[in-house]
Structure 1
Amino acid sequence: MISGHLSAKAGKWYMVLELRTPEGKRIPKWIGTGLPIKGNKHRAGEMLYQKRLEYSAARGTSGNMLFSEYLEQWIKGRQCELAKATFDSYKAILERQVIQFYAPKGIALSALRPADIIAYHQELRKRGVSENTVLRHHAVIHKALEDACYHELITTNPATRVRRPRKEMYVTKPYTAQECRQLLDSIQGEKLEPILTMAVYTGMRRGELLGLRWGAIDFLENIINVQHEVVRGNVNGRTALVAQDKLKRTASLRALPMVEPLRNMLLAERQRRYGEKSVEVYDYIFVDKKGRPLKPNYVTAAFPKLLAKHGLRLIRLHDLRHSCANLLITARTPLIEVQQWLGHSSILTTADLYSHLTFQEKLNSADTIKNFNKERRRNMKKNERMTVSEWIVELDSESLNNVQAFLDTGALQSLIESDSGCYDAIIQSDNEEPLFVEVNLDVNSCVEDLHCTCNIGFCIHLATVLHEINAGRANFLCENEN
C-alpha cells in the first residue's frame, strides 16, 4: 500500500501521500481534508487511510502486498489515532519482531493463513517469552488484520481462527491497611513522600501521578482532577518524556475526592514551593530539585530501595495502586465504584484484577454466611426440619427453663428418631395412660399435616408443645380420637 501521513498546515489537516515515479523517485502529493486541526485527528486519519487505498488500488499494489509491508504501512497510519505509549508499544512489537519474522518468508497479505500466525506463536515460545507476551503480539496482529478486513484488503481475518493465547494471571500481593499505615509513617521526610502518599490514597497510575499539575487541584471543592500524564516515549528514535492530555482511556479522565491528609500535604507543598506567590497552574506537583517532573524510571527504581531502607515488605510501585483498591474492596466498596475510582474502562477489568480477596475479607464473608445461617434457623420455612437440640438452642432462657421443667416431670418417657425424620415419643398423660405421639419438627406446619401413630389417636406437634409450655400451660392440646 502507498504510504502517507497527516500534516498540519494553516490550521487544517492535510494528507501527504508518498508517490513514486517509475524510476523510484519519491514525489509527495498533498491533499487537503478541509478539516480543522482541533478535534479531527481521528477523522483525518480515516480519510488518509481511504485515500491510500484508492491510490494503491489504482496502481494495482494492494493484491500483491506482502504481509510484512502491510504491517509497516499499518503502524504508520495509526500514529495519529493511538495514545503515544500505545503507539510506541505496537511499533516496537511490529518492527523489532513481527515484521522481521515475516519479511524473509515473503507471504502475501492475501495468502496469510492461520498456520502462519501459529508458527509465529511457536517461535516466540521457543525464545522463552511468557504467554502474556505471546498474547500481546497476537492482539497487535489481530488488530492489524481486522483493519485490513474493514478496508476490504482481505475477505476474512485469519487471526480469528487461531486459538487465543491464554493469559497468565498475575496475583497481586498488595499492602494491607496496616502495611499502608506503616509505609506512610516510615517515609515521612523522604523525597518520595508526597508522590507515594498520593499513590496510596488515590491509586493513580505512575504516569497520572507524574502528570499531576497544580491546575488540576481544586482546593475549594476538594477535588483532584486526573486529566494529564507524563510517560516515557520514543521521540525521533530516542527515549524521552512525553506529556499528554489524552490518557489511556476515556474512563481515565476522572475526578477524585481529596481526603484531608492529601489536602494538608498539598497545601504544605504549595507553601514550600511558592510561599505567598500565585501558583502556576501548569507547573507539575512532583518535581526534582530543578523543578522538572520526576522521571518515571527514577521513581520506579527508588521505591524498592526506600522499602528496603525501612524494612518494609517489597512490592512494585504499581502495587500501591492495587493496595488502594484493596483498601476499597476490604471496606466493601461496590465494585462499580472501585472501577470508577481507578479509571478502568470496564468493570470486567476490575473484577478480573481483584477477584481474590484478602484473608480478612474472607473471614468477614464467613461471618456473613454464619449470621445468615443463624437467621435462617430462626425463620425456617414450612416443611423444613430441625433436631430437638437445634430447636431448643433457639429458645430464650425462660423457655429453656420451662422445657427443662417439663422434662424434669418425667412426662417424656422416650423420644426415638424414626426413619421419616420425625420422632416417636411416649408421653405420660394426666390420666396415667401413655400417649404414643409422632413429633414433627416442622416449626410452621399445622396439626392437620400430622397423622396418628396409634389407636389412642393423639397427635402432638413439637412446636405446639413448646409453645404451650412457654405459655405456662400443661395441657398439650391433645384430642382423643374416641
Structure 2
Amino acid sequence: MELTKMLEMVRLTEDELIGGFITTKKGYYYTVLNRKDKNGKRKPLWISTGLPAIEKNEAEAENQCLSARIQYSLDLKNGVADKTLAHEEPENNSVQDNSDEKHSLNPLFADLLNEWLEFRHPDNVVVGEDFNFDKTIKLNTWAGYAENIKQNLYPTFMAYGCTVQEITPELLKGHYSYRLKNGRKKSTVAKDYTIINQALNYAVSKKMISVNPNSAITLHKIEKYNAATLNAEQMLNYLEFIVDDIIEIPILLGGFYGMRRSECLGARESQFDFKYKFFRANHTVTTAVIDKKKIYIPSDKLKTDLSNRTYPLIPYVEERIKAKITENKELRALCGNSYSKEWLGYLCVDPLGEIIDPNYITNRHSDLLRKAGLPHVRFHDLRHSCVGLMMANEVPMERIRDWVGHSDIRTTVNTYGHLEYQSKKKTAKIIQKSLPLKMAGAANLLGLTAP
C-alpha cells in the first residue's frame, strides 16, 4: 500500500509522520525514531526489531520501522507519547551543557550535506590534502549538486533524522535500493552516491567519523550507452539541409570537429585565425540554475587540459564561419541599442545577440533531423559520428584522442572502441586465410573476398 493512502487511513499527514530509519547494532536490525525532548533537542528512540541483520530480513525491518513511525506519530498527536520526557531534568544542574559542541561533531546528516555544499562552492578557496578537496568544481556542477540536495537528499535524510555517526552501509544501501525500486535511473542514483560519498569524506576530514560508510558500497555498473551515429552520406545530407539555420555553426563544429555542445556555444571570432587557417577550442558556455534562476557561465576552464586544442580550418567550415560573422555584424548594425552587448564576438547568438540556450540547440537539432528525414541522434552523437567517420578511414586511436580532447587514450578506447570496424574487418580476413573454407560462397559470409 502506498504511504500516502496508509497515512490517510490513520488520519496523519506526511508532515506529522516522525522521521526514522533502520540500522544495525550487535548483529540485529533496530528502528531509530527521530524523537526530540521538550527543548527541541534530538533524543533518538531505539527500538529492537528482533530480526538478525541479514538481507532476507531487511524488508521486514523496513516494515516494522514504518509501523513504529506511524504508531509513535499517532501517540504524539494524541498526547500520549513520552510524557515522562517533559519532566526529565539533568541529574546535576551544575553539569556543563556540551550539546552544541557534540552537535558540531555529530550533526544531522541532512545538515552536513548543506555544510559540505557550502564548503565546495567554487568561490571558496579549498585547501587540504584529504580526499582531493584541493580541486575546485565548476559552478554548473556545483549547481547540480545543490539542486539534488535541495530537492532530494536533504528532505530524505531529514525525514530519516539520522546524525552523521548513525549513517551505516545498511542505511545507505536502503536509500539507493529505494530510489531504484521507485524508477530512478542508475545514473541518477550514481549522482546521489557521488554527493553522499564526498560529504562523508568531508565528515572524515573533520574527524566526525573515522571511516566513510559509503566506501563499503559498490553500485551496480551503469550500462554503457552505445551512441547512434550518422554515416558519411547522412552527415553530408544534414549539413546541406541546415545551411543558414540558427544552429548551423554548432552542428558544423560538432559534426566536423567532434566538439562538445558547451565548446560549440563558446566559439568566438577571436578563436579563428583566417590567415593561418586554424582555430582554437578553448572556451565554453554552460548553464546553471541557482535559486530558480538560469544563468549562463562563460569559462576558459575546459573539461581537461587536453580539451584545450587547436584545429585546422576546413575550407567549407571557414566559409560558413565567415558568413556567420558577417551576418552577426549586419544584425548588430540593424538592431542598434537593442542588440545585446554581453555576448559580442560569440558566434552562436540569436538575431538580437543573445547567446543561444543549450536546450534550444538540443531541441532544434531533433526537429531538423526529423524534417530532413534522417534518423534521430542526440546532439552529442555528432561527436560520436565524427569519430566514427575517422575510424572508418583508419585514423589511429592516438590521433582521435587528440582530436576530441581526451586526457587518457583509455577513455577514447572505452568510448569509441565499438565503432572500430575496419580493424575487426582486417582481423576477420586473417582468420579467413588461416581457416580456408571449401563451401562455395562461404568465403563471403562476412562480406569478404575469398583468398
TM-score band (shorter)? 0.5 to 0.7
Contact 1:222 1:258 in 2 (8 A): yes
1:161 maps to 2:223: no
Instruction: Choose which of 263, 267, 270 in structure 2 pairs with 1:215.
Output: 270
Distance 2:240 2:324 in 1: 18
Q: Secondary structure at the match of 1:355?
A: helix
Equivalent AA in structure 1 for residue 365 of structure 2: F
The yes-or-no answer on 1:198 pairing with 2:253 is yes
Tell me if 1:180 matches 2:235.
yes
* 1:214–1:282 Cα contact (<8 Å) kept: no
In 1, Cα distance between equivalents of 2:280 and 2:115: 37
Pair 1:365-2:424 in alignment:
yes
Q: 1:239 to 1:79 in 2, by over 3 A?
A: same
CA deviations on 1:70-101 (whole Å, 9 max, x unpaired) are 11100111111210221111112222111211
Match of 1:95 among 127, 132, 150: 150
What amino acid sits opposite 1:244 in the alignment?
A: S
Q: Secondary structure of 1:365's match?
A: helix
Give the gaps of 5 or more residues in structure 1. Answer: 1-55, 378-385, 387-482
Structure 1 position 69 matched with structure 2 position 111: yes
CA contact (8 A) 1:204 1:321 kept: yes
Aligned-partner Cα distance in 2 for 1:281–1:192: 16
- In 2, the alpha carbon distance for the partners of 1:103 and 1:345 equals 40
Structure 2 CA distance for aligned equivalents of residues 349 and 92 of structure 1: 28
Query: 1:315 — aligned with what?
Result: 377
Aligned to 2:418: 356
By how many angstroms is 1:227 displaced?
1.9
Instruction: Please say if 1:224 is aligned against 2:279.
Output: yes
Structure 2, unmatched stretches of 5+, are 1-97, 123-135, 333-341, 437-451
Distance 1:216 1:151, change over 3 A: farther
Aligned to 2:388: 326
Give the 3-state SS of the residue equivalent to 1:356 in structure 2: helix
Distance 1:371 1:190 in 2: 47
Q: Is the strand fraction higher in 1 or 2?
A: 1
| 2:351 corresponds to | 289
Fraction of identical pairs, as percent: 27
Shift of 1:245: 2.3
Contact 1:135 1:166 in 2 (8 A): no
Corresponding residue pairs, total: 317
Is 1:121 the counterpart of 2:183? The answer is no
In structure 2, C-alpha distance between the alignment counterparts of 1:109 and 1:121, rounded to whole Å: 17
Normalised by the size of structure 2, how large is the TM-score? 0.64
Equivalence for 2:368: 306
Instruction: Give the aligned residue type for 1:64.
Output: N
> How far 1:238 sits from its partner (Å)?
0.9
The residue number in structure 1 matching 2:188 is 133
> How far apart in 1 are the matches of 2:270 and 2:343?
4
SS at match of 1:337: helix
8 Å CA contact 1:215, 1:281 repeated in 2: no
Question: What TM-score do you get using the length of structure 1 for normalisation?
Answer: 0.60
What value does the CA root-mean-square deviation take over the aligned residues?
A: 2.9
| Larger mean Cα displacement after TM superposition, 308-317 or 182-191 | 182-191
Structure whose CA Rg is larger: 1
Contact kept, 8 Å, 1:83 with 1:248, in 2: the verdict is no
Question: Is the contact made by 1:145 and 1:159 (CA closer than 8 Å) also made in structure 2?
Answer: yes
Q: Provide the C-alpha distance between the structure 2 equivalents of 1:128 and 1:300, rounded to a whole number of angstroms.
A: 25
